[in-house]
Structures are given as structure tokens and as C-alpha cells.
Chains A and B, each alone.
Chain A
Amino acid sequence: MRSRTTLAAAGVLVLLMALGGCSQNTPSNGVTDTSSPSGTTQTGAIAASPEDSLGPAPDVPGATKGGTITIIREAKISHLDPQRVYSFAGLMNAPLYTRFLTTWKDDGKGGLTLVGDLATTTGTNVNGDCKVWEYTIKDGLKFEDGRPITSKEIAYGIARSFDPDLTSGPTYLQEWLSGTPQYDTAWDFKANKTSLPPGLTTPDANTLRFEFNAPHCDLPFAASLPTSAPVPADKDTGVDYDNQPVSSGPYRITDNTPGVQLVLERNPNWDAATDPVRHQYPDKFVWTFGPDADAAVSRVIADNGPDRSAVAWSGVPASLVAKVAADPALQDRTLLSPTPSANRLTINTQRVADLSVRQALNYAIDRDGLVKTLGGETVASPITTLMPPGTLGYEQYDAYPAGSNGNIDKAKELLAGRSPELVLAAADDSQGQEVATQLKTNLEKAGFTITVKTIPADSKLDETKKKDNPWDLYVDSWAADWPSGAAILPVLFDGRTIKADGNSNSSFVNSDTVNAEFDRILALDPAQQTSQWAAVDKQIMTELAPAVPLYADVAYNAHGSKAGGLFISGIFGSPAFVNAYVKQ
């Protein structure tokens, strides 16, 4: 009878279930890491002595030459053209085939030093007013075809970044040189290919000079971005340059099949003696595109064949953490590190104008529950400050001490019987929805009435950046381009930058006292600035409470048994390859 076959079908399924196995989960001490993520303090500064900028970079203990490192990523890297690179993958890939004016020495444990890369130092503040900067370019630098790199090629690289066709890259140098965000109309690159943008000059082959109308003490930091990478003018093919840029780094691009793979091989014309940071241990780097996070991590854990020297670009997803963390054999094949990506629950202060309500939100928040929702401590690390741990000059404080699960009673006390109705805008992807559900349940315990408004994930960022956006709360994330408070606090909380669209200050706060503090600190010498930002951080939280700091992303990446020298970049929180080698 058919019922018999039905039974058989059911039996097969039960068998499958058994294969999958119903397993027992006993909470153990599980992972891990020698230092707790949020405890790592990032120290560092601008290099004090020019010797730090000299090559060669110190040898990595145990490193051997040869082999191929494979990096597995789902989507292809959006840009290779250095003036257009701005994604994490692009920024971690760039040091392999390009060099910049300045760069970061990262010891992988939180110690960061800004050093000169193509330049001999991190820049000379000529008049002490941060308006005129000079860089001396090192001798003996060459492109992959042997031709020399001089200040002309670096200047050309910066000049072409003015081309509106070359979209997506950072815009600091362009805006500072031209003095306006409309830099592409202030100076037309296409019409002036043989000249340089205003303020940028090359007095001789070894000197590069920046002259700004306004002080920009952060130039040494901005110069570490790939906008300052050299480009030979006669090889510039515009938008097509993205396919195979000319290399100035230890590797050059030999094969670029979009969506399939990117291959980098040794550049014989890279001179280690001029480079303070990079090495050239592996023969090849191969980016393989396609597998999603689950597939990539599973492959790397399985450790078969070429995957032994592979690393999965995406972190271990929350769903696999339990398996990876519980396996002692995998302990030294994972990288665990805090990142500078900070997530906060932004409060639209135009709509939630009552400070006590904002403070109540800060008391009510259950960070522990939120971290569990996201997948635990290897995915997220709770924070109570606006600047993430790891920012230079960071100091831990808690303006609204509520304990790790929140203090509902204190929140209720502040609300004094009110039940504010707030609308939380949430992305419609699975993480956005789960976080929204968690926040809603959490905040409603304190008496808030939360309406979750779901909007398409891809447009959420654009929509919440609009001044007249209709929502009260939204989860925002921010990863500074360099680990200074200057790249975080004024950008996010200076009310004078508020415009109709594209606001990073999505809390829309505008406080004269805070703005004045920003101005004061930004006029200081960069070395002196570092210690000042923590106080402003606390001031903003205490006086304005424009957001509820939630958590910092944690990087938890897996690699094969033969991949060595990998670490998580202290600047961008992604795997860095400058020290990578293949264990023989």
C-alpha cells in the first residue's frame, strides 16, 4: 500500500536525522584566546624617529619562502585601482601590490605606528600650522617594470583621484587640496592631465608638497590610504585601470578573472630595503571568489590540499562558532581580535528631544542579550563608549552604568511613568531583523513602546543619513579610516556638517560647546590630540546622549594549518597579509 512507502520515506528521513545527530551541548569553557577581546588596548602613535620608516621590515619568526596563500571570499574585490579602493578587502589587498606615502606598522597585538612608506618620514609640518606639508620620497623605488617611482608619479596618482569617473575611493586629499567637497568641478582632471591640482607641487623628483587653505593635521593619516599610491601617467587607462594596475609593491597582479580569482605573483623590482612593513615570503597570493562564509570556513577547517595554506576572509559565522571554538585542534588556526568597527543605536535627537528619554534608553539596554543574539563573544564585544577600544588615546568609561543586562528599574525611574513611543528602523536582512526583535523586547521591558519599521537593507544607510528621515532609532556602525578620535567624534557629532543628505552625523546633534571642543582639539598638534579625545567622548555621552553604544565587531577568522604570519589589522579589523608565509 502507499502507506507502506510513506513509512519507508519517513524512515529514510529519520535516518538522515540520526546522521546529522542530535548532539548534546554542555556549556564549557570553550574558546580560547589568551586575552579577552575588549581588554586589548591599542597603543601607538606617529613614528618618532625616521629610523622607523626605514626598511627592511623585521623578519617574521619562523617564516619560510615559497608556497601559495589562498584567500577565500564570497564577492570579488570591488576595486583594484588604488585611487578607487575603499572596501576592507580592497584595503587589505592593496599593500600587496601598491605602496603609499605613509603606512602603519602593526604588530598584530594592538601596537600601531604610523611610518613613512614611499616617504622618508610621516611628513614635515613645514610652518607648524598644518597647512603646508612636505614629503621626501625615498630613492631606489621602482614599479614592476623597473621604471623609477618619483614624486611625479605619486602626484599623478593624487591628481587622477579628482576624475569623477573614478568613483568610490576616499576623498580626503581631494577635498583638502581644493578646499571644497565639489572638488571635481573645482579642478577638472580630464582637461588638465598634464598639470597638478591646486596646492600639490613636486619641486623636485624627491619632494612632494601639499599646501592647504585650512589646517589639516591629519594629513599623515590620510596619506596612508591608497589615494597616495603612485601611478605611471602613460599607463593610466581610466576606468580600465581597475583590471590590472601597475604594481609598486612586493607582488604584481598577473591574473584577474572577475568573480573567479585574482592572482598576485612576486614583483622582482620591489626592494625590501626600502620597505619598513612588507615581506615577500610566499610565491603567490590567490584570491578565490564564490564560496559563502559557511563554505569557506568549512573548507578551511577541513584543511585539505591547497586549503592548508588558505584563509577564509569572512569570519567564522555565528552558526559555526560553537563547532570551531570547541575544537582544541583549531585553537592555533584561528585569529581572534577586536576590530575598530563600532555599532551604536543612534537616536535621532531631532525627534527624541528629551535628554531623560535618551538616558533611559542607555540604562535599559541589555548588551549581553544583544551579544547572544548576534552569536556570542566571538562575534561582538559590548562597549559603552563612542570611540571603540583600540582608538589611540581610548579610555574606558560608562556614562550610564547599567550592568551587562541593563538596569530596567533605573530606566523606569528616569522615564517617571512615561511610555514613549519610538520607531526603530531595521534592515530587512536576517541580522537586522533579529537585532530589531531583540531590541524591541529589551526596551519594552522598561516601558518604551517600540514599533519596528522594516526597510530594505541596501537602502537603509542612505535613508537614515537623510536629515528629514522619519525614524527615531536605528542601528549604525562606523569604522574610522584611521584610529584617531578625529576620524570618529567630529565626523559623527559635529552639528555644523549637517546637510540635507548623506549625513554621517545621523544623530543630528548640534551643540556649540561640543563643537568648540572639536575645533580646539583639531588645532592641536596630532601628538597632543590623542589624549584629549577621551574626555570629549565622555562629555558627549553625558551631556547629549545622542546614541546608545552597543558593541564592537570582533574578528574571528580561521585559516589552514600551513598558513602562517596572518593577523587581524588593528586599523581595519580584517586579516592582513603583509607578514604572511606558508609553513614548509
Chain B
Amino acid sequence: MGRFLVRRSFSALLTLFAVSVLTFGMFFVLPRDPVTGMCPKNCNPERLERVRQELGLSDPKVEQYLGYMKGIFLGRDLGSAQGGHCDAPCLGYSYVNNEPVSDTIARVLPVTVSIVVPAAILWLSLGIGLGMVSALRRGTWVDRAAIGFALTGASLQLYFVGGVLLLVFTYQWGMVPVPHYTPFFDNPVDWARGLVLAWVALALLFSAIYARLSRAQMLETLSEDFIRTARAKGVPRSQVYGRHALRAAITPLVTIAGLDIGAALGGTVITEITFGLQGLGRTAVGAVRSGDLPTIMATVLVAAFFIVTANLAVDLLYAAIDPRVRLGS
């Protein structure tokens, strides 16, 4: 188990490293040179070049990359134009937002987490619950309604659903305020009211997917031999379904959920744009559009970190449960 953990952790680190290199390589294809934004009218190319030098943007790309990575682990000096010394983990200074990138991340990450985590709880409970029920009541109207719901949800477009929810609940009926983010500890009720539409939209789509998955998984588990054996032995139905079937069915679902949540935390761009919330995804999009490389690097690395960690956790879970995985080649 130890060896497995070491191997997978090494692989995860390698992945993060590769992500950082590829993202930095984006520098070559970015649509906008960010420095020109500092010089809106009557700009002078020589002066602009001096600004570029000061920001370290004229250094060779490899040097810039290494400087950035060093900053993450050890902190670095950024020069007076970028706020002086930047403590580890230094994610750089955004010359577009005029603030250290770590401040930006600290501000937008809670928004994305606040969107994803409650939505995930909603969609998992709704989806898995629905799937289980429909598998157990297979063939009845409950099953058909659940399948219908699942298919509809899987076919909806997030931005369309979001738009319709906004129209109905905010603009026409005024039941819910225009979506906004209030930190949870400031005002939990306002936090919830400001995000509830985003949760509902995400839950509608994702619970449909999980309903399908869990129904299929439950059906497969129910047809396994060990279930038949348990029933034949006379184990009461509730125990059969609750203890044996549910446990077997849930494991792969939870692992997929882990991966999905990891990916979602990486940036729910469409949700944030549709509902006008300033989260990690939207910040990343804005950074790409304005050529703000430090912010791009930071948001991508944070997102990749979530995904890789989720992957690692899932692999460990599988390894803990299934000995073949950790012993296999």
C-alpha cells in the first residue's frame, strides 16, 4: 500500500508539473499582450518596452517560468511595480487587476467552493436517491418518471436552464434576489439566497446524470450472485438492499462523484457567467482574455490541484477496497 501511495503521489506531482509547463507555454499563443493595456492612449513603444522590462516580461521564457515556480515554493522579489517581496506561496502579481494573485484567488475561490459543494450535496443525494428508488421499483411509474427526469436533465443546457430560472424566479416573480455572493460567515441566509439558483441549475443537470448512473449500477449489483444468495438465505429485504446492495453500488458512484467535484471545483465557468458570480472559472476566463499570465497560471494550477487530488483520493480508495488494484502491474 505504501509503495502504491508513493507511486501515485509521484505521478500526481508529475502531472501538476506538466500542467504548469503547458500553461506557461500558453504565453506563446495568448491573444493579448497585457502590457499594452497599461497604455491606453498616446502610447509610446519605447516606454512600453521599459515597463515590460520592469515586469520581467522581456526575460527568456524559461527564466520567467522558473522564476514563477520558485516563487510558489520559496517566495520571490517582484520589483517595486509589483508590490515588492512576495511571500511563498507566491502566485505572482497581476498587472491587470493590480493586486497579488494570491489575493485574487483568496477572493474568488470561496465563491466557486460555495457554488460547487452545496450543489454537489444536492445533486448526489437527489440523484443517487432517485436512482436507487427507481432501481428498486423497476418497471413502475416511479421508475419511468425517474428515467424521464434523468434523460431530460442530461439533455438540458446549463446556460439555458440558468436563463429560464433567472427569468422566472428573479425577474418575473421576484422570489429570489439577483444572484450574488455573500461570504457564509457574514450572513448565511443571504449567502444561500444569493446562490440558490446556481445550486438548483447545477443540481437539475447533475442529479439527472447520477440518477442514471446509480440506477444502472444498482440494477447490476442487484443481479449479482451474492444478492441472490442473501435472499435465498432469508436475509430480510431491507438488509439486503440497505447493507449489501447499497454498499456495493455506492462505491463506484462516490468515486465518480469525487472526480466530478474535483473537476467542478476547477472552475464552473458557464454557471458563473450565467449567474454573474465572480468565481475561479470566470476569473480564469477574464485572465486569458486580457493576457494576464500570472493569474492564468494560478487559476489553472489551483484547478489542476483539485482534480489531481481528487484522482489520487479516488485511486487510494479503490486501492484500499480492491487488493488487485494495488498489487496489479
Q: Is the interface of B mostly helix, strand, loop or mixed?
A: helix
Find residues 127-154 in chain B having any chain A CB closer than 8 Å to their own CB: 144-145, 147-149, 151-152
- A170 neighbours in B (Cβ, 8 Å): 41-42
| Any B CB within 8 A of the CB of A353 | no
Check if A79 sits within 8 Å of B98, measured CB to CB: yes
Whether B107 lies near A258 (C-beta < 8 A) is yes
Q: Closest B-chain residue to A1, C-beta based?
A: B144
Nearest CB of chain A from residue B168's CB, rounded to whole Å: 6
Q: Given A165-B80, A182-B46, decide whether A9 and B291 contact each other with a Cβ distance below 8 A.
A: no
**Which of A86, A167, A302, A304 has the largest number of chain B CB atoms within 10 A?**
A167
Report if A164 contacts B (CB, 8 A): yes
Bound complex: CA of A74 vs CA of B167, how far in Å?
20
For A153-172 the 0/1 string (1 means CB < 8 A from B) is: 00000000000110110110
Contacting pair A168 B38 (CB below 8 A) = yes
Q: Which residues of B contact A491 (CB under 8 A)?
A: 42
Report if B200 contacts A (CB, 8 A).
Answer: no
Stretch in A124-132, A415-423, A499-507 touching the partner: A499-507
Are A164 and B33 interface neighbours, CB within 8 A? no
Interface string of B27-45 (1 = CB under 8 A from A): 0000111001111111111
B174→A302 contact, CB < 8 A: yes
B283's closest neighbor in chain A, by CB? A259
A459 close to B (CB within 8 Å): yes
Q: Which residue of B lies closest to A171 (CB)?
A: B42
Instruction: In the complex, identify which listed stretch (A290-298, A519-527, A532-540) lies at the interface while the others stay far away.
Output: A290-298
* Residues 38-81 (chain B) with a chain A CB within 8 angstroms: 38-48, 50-51, 54, 80-81
> Are the CB atoms of B167 and A459 closer together than 8 Å?
no
Contact of A290 among B38, B80, B167, B181 (CB under 8 A): B181
Across the interface, which residues of B come within 8 angstroms of A76, CB to CB?
A: 97
* Contact status of A184 and B47, CB under 8 A, knowing A20-B167, A165-B54, A168-B40: yes
Residue among A5, A19, A299 making CB contact with B147, cutoff 8 Å: A5
A-chain residues with CB within 8 Å of residue B228 when the two chains form the complex: none
A167 touches B39 (CB 8 A): yes
Residue ID in chain B nearest A502 by CB atoms: B43
B289: nearest chain-A partner, CB-CB: A458
If A167-B51, A290-B181 touch, does A242 touch B289 (CB 8 Å cutoff)?
no
Judge if B220 is at the interface, Cβ distance under 8 Å. no
B278 at the interface (CB under 8 A from A): yes
Chain A residues near B51: list those with CB within 8 A.
Answer: 164, 167
A260 CA to B108 CA, complexed, in Å: 10
| Contact (Cβ within 8 A) A20 B40 | no
- B183 to A, closest residue via Cβ: A260
Give B264-289 as 1s and 0s: 1 = Cβ < 8 Å from A's Cβ atoms: 00000000000011100000000001
Give chain B residues whose Cβ lies under 8 Å from the Cβ of A165: 54, 80-81
| C-alpha gap A482/B152 in the complex (Å) | 57
Task: List chain B residues, Cβ under 8 A from A48.
Answer: none
Closest residue on chain B to residue A458 by CB atoms: B32
Q: Is the CB of A298 within 8 A of B178?
A: yes
**B31 to A458, Cβ gap below 8 A?**
yes
Instruction: Tell yes or no: B164 within 8 A of A by CB.
Output: yes
Q: In the complex the two chains form, what is the Cα distance from A171 to B33 in whole Å?
A: 21
Choice from A2, A20, A501 contacting B144 with Cβ under 8 Å: A2
Question: Closest CB of chain A to B108's CB: distance in Å?
Answer: 8
Complex interface: chain B residues within 8 A of A167 (CB): 38-39, 51, 81, 95
A240 x B148 contact (CB < 8 A) = no
A19→B167 CA distance, assembly (Å): 9
Nearest chain A CB to B175 CB, angstrom units: 12
Cβ of B83 to closest chain A Cβ, rounded Å = 6
Neighbouring B residues of A481 by C-beta, 8 Å: 41
Task: Confirm or deny: A403 has a beta carbon within 8 angstroms of a beta carbon on chain B.
Answer: no
Cα A19 to Cα B169 in complex, Å, equals 11
Chain B CB within 8 A of A60 CB: no
Q: Quick check: B178 and A291 within 8 Å, CB to CB?
A: yes
Complex partner residue of A19 from B44, B152, B172, B289, CB under 8 angstroms: B172
Cα–Cα distance between A19 and B166 once the two chains are bound (Å): 12
CB A21 to nearest CB in B, in angstroms, measures 9
A 491-525 contacts with B by CB, 8 A: 491, 499-502, 504
Nearest Cβ in chain A — how far from B63, in angstroms? 21
Q: Roughly how many angstroms separate A238 CA and B179 CA in the complex, as a whole number?
A: 36
Residue A199 lies at the interface, judged by CB distance under 8 Å to chain B: no
Is B8 an interface position by the 8 A CB rule?
Answer: no
Chain B residues whose CB sits within 8 angstroms of the CB of A2 once the complex forms? 144, 147-148, 151
- Nearest CB on B from A504, distance (A): 7
Residues of A within 8 A of B170 (CB): 298
A456 close to B31 (CB less than 8 A): yes
Q: Which among B41, B54, B107, B148 is the interface contact of A8 at CB below 8 angstroms?
A: B148
What are 8 of the A-B contact pairs (CB < 8 Å)? A2-B148, A78-B98, A168-B39, A258-B99, A260-B107, A298-B171, A462-B32, A499-B45
Nearest 10 CB-CB pairings of A with B: A5-B148, A456-B31, A167-B38, A165-B81, A458-B32, A181-B44, A502-B43, A9-B152, A501-B45, A459-B32
Given contacts A9-B148, A9-B149, A260-B107, 20 further A-B contacts (CB under 8 A): A2-B144, A5-B147, A5-B148, A6-B151, A8-B145, A16-B168, A19-B168, A20-B164, A76-B97, A79-B98, A238-B80, A258-B107, A304-B174, A457-B289, A458-B289, A459-B31, A459-B33, A500-B45, A501-B45, A502-B45
